[in-house]
């Protein structure tokens, strides 16, 4: 047992203490906490909190501290917002980039609209903190109301039919989209009677459709997009609206826009209300969903949607130079190859959306070396109580 005073927060939201001249990371602590901890290498377990730091508040969920899902419910709002903003500032600083960083935008909205639960004999829930042991839960308060108690209940019912599995549930405008992964050879037919009783919009088992009563769909601008199974979505509806508004503001009066890593079109469909759009993504099902939404939506400018692997085959300057602006929203790894090509282009405006400040900073450095300036950066909080942050950066040539 070691008694420490927490001096700061690490990048994962863990408290930092000094023990025998080295840093130790202590989950669920805040600066100023005095605590007894059990040290295990560079990490420690909080054994007893003796005095609370000024940035500590009571967590909103009874599972907090045991559940491995949330890391920051104990952090006061001002300290929480500063931590998230500092994730962006530190990533840029390490890359040698100076930029004005806006105040964190709260985009949690009604909660997360998608979750994946582990279903086991003892119940359904998330893994315990720093463990592969299941924590069975009755409800998760950071989800949208339609999922808070319904998702664990669905997962428990499905476990009775297929055994140990992971159950992904998405709340859509037309009902719940449920995908079950077992890793075993099970015929989807065994779930059909249960699927009919559960009343979900769609149920799939290991990628095979069991039942679809309504195509799961979400409104994106004027369009209604039918979602392919396991398609990427922003964590919250409020974040999607916030990010789209920041993208459109950054694009300004652009009349032709390339939307790269476009997914099912949350930006492309909104941008197309005022500009011609070229959209590309490696996910063929997402591109098909975007193209279908365009066909059935009135009042849009022309949208060209193609399937293309932008990691292996990025758009070259000769293709990019015909557009007034570019928006790109890659996966967590970033878009290094595409950023290199954009840096060589003549496009005047680039808007980058990212869920990983460090890969954003790397790609930003490439654009800056190519003659762009980083005009503004806005951090957006949709990954509530986690050590992750979304951001939008606007570049001008």
Nearest by Cα to 391 from 380, 259, 383: 380
List of domains in the chain: 2-56 (2.40.50.140), 82-108+233-396 (3.40.50.150), 114-217 (2.40.50.1070)
Name the pTM for this structure: 0.95
- Which residues lie closer than 8 Å to 58 by C-beta, 6 or more apart? 74
- Which residues lie closer than 8 Å to 108 by C-beta, 6 or more apart? 142, 236, 238, 239, 381, 382, 384
pLDDT at residue 192 in the model = 84
SS3 (DSSP) at 342: helix
pLDDT at residue 183 in the model = 84
pLDDT at residue 134 in the model = 96
Residue 218 sits at the vertex; the CA angle it makes with 215 and 224, to the nearest 5 degrees, is 85
What is the spatial distance between Cα 18 and Cα 2, in angstroms, rounded to a whole number? 10
What string of H, E and C letters represents the secondary structure of 264-314? CCCCHHHHCCCCEEEEEECCHHHHHHHHHHHHCCCCCCCEEEEECCCCCCC
CA 97 to chain centre: 24
Structural contact between residues 363 and 385, judged by C-beta atoms closer than 8 angstroms: no
Phi and psi at residue 11, in whole multiples of 5°? -65, -25
Token pair 């592969």: residue: 132
Structural contact between residues 305 and 262, judged by C-beta atoms closer than 8 angstroms: yes
Phi and psi at residue 210, in whole multiples of 5°? -100, -50
Nearest by Cα to 44 from 135, 130, 133: 130
Strand partners, 25: 16, 43
**Which residues form the catalytic set?**
355
pLDDT at residue 196 in the model = 85
Residue 205 sits at the vertex; the CA angle it makes with 239 and 158, to the nearest 5 degrees, is 85
Nearest by Cα to 346 from 372, 309, 378, 383: 372
pLDDT at residue 189 in the model = 77
What are the pLDDT tens digits along the chain (397 aa)?
899 999 999 999 999 999 988 999 999 999 999 999 999 989 999 999 999 999 999 999 999 999 999 999 999 999 999 999 999 999 999 999 999 999 999 999 999 999 999 999 999 999 998 889 999 999 999 999 999 999 999 999 999 999 999 999 999 999 999 999 998 888 777 788 888 888 899 999 998 999 999 999 999 999 999 999 888 999 999 999 999 999 999 999 999 999 999 999 999 999 999 999 999 999 999 999 999 999 999 999 999 999 999 999 999 999 999 999 999 999 999 999 999 999 999 999 999 999 999 999 999 999 999 999 999 999 999 999 999 999 999 999 9
Strand partners, 28: none
Strand partners, 307: 281
Structural contact between residues 246 and 238, judged by C-beta atoms closer than 8 angstroms: no
């Amino acid at each position: 047992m070691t008694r420490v005073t927490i001096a700061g927060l690490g990048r994962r939201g863990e408290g930092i203490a000094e023990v025998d001249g080295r840093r130790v990371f202590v989950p669920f602590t805040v600066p100023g906490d005095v605590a007894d901890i059990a040290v295990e290498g560079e990490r420690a377990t909080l054994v007893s909190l003796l005095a609370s730091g000024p940035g500590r508040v009571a967590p909103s969920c009874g599972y907090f501290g045991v559940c491995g899902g949330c890391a920051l419910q104990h952090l006061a709002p001002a300290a929480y917002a500063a931590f998230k903003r500092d994730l962006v500032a530190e990533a840029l600083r390490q890359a040698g980039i100076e930029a004005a960083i806006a105040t964190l935008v709260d985009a949690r909205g009604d909660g997360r609209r998608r979750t994946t639960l582990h279903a086991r004999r003892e119940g359904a829930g998330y893994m315990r903190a720093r463990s592969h042991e299941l924590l069975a839960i009755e409800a998760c308060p950071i989800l949208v109301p339609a999922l808070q108690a319904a998702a664990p209940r669905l997962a428990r019912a499905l476990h009775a039919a297929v055994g140990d599995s992971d159950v992904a549930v998405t709340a859509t405008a037309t009902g719940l989209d449920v995908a079950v992964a077992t890793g075993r050879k099970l015929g989807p037919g065994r779930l059909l009677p249960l699927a009919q009783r559960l009343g979900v919009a769609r149920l799939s088992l290991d990628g095979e459709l069991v039942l679809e009563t309504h195509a799961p769909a979400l409104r994106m601008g004027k369009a209604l997009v039918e979602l392919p199974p396991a398609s990427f979505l922003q964590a919250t509806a409020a974040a999607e609206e916030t990010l789209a508004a920041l993208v459109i503001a950054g694009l300004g009066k652009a009349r032709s826009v390339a939307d790269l890593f476009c997914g099912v079109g949350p930006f492309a469909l909104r941008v197309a209300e005022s500009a011609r759009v070229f959209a590309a993504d490696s996910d063929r099902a997402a591109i098909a969903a975007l193209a279908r939404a365009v066909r059935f939506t009135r009042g849009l400018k022309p949208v060209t949607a193609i399937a293309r692997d932008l990691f292996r085959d990025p758009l070259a300057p000769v293709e990019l130079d015909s557009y007034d602006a570019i928006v790109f929203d890659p996966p967590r790894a970033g878009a290094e190859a595409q950023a290199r090509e954009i840096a060589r282009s003549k496009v005047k405006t680039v808007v980058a959306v990212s869920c990983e400040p460090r890969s954003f900073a790397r790609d930003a450095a490439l654009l800056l070396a190519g003659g762009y300036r980083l005009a503004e950066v806005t951090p957006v909080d949709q990954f509530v109580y986690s050590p992750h942050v979304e951001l939008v950066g606007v570049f001008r040539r």
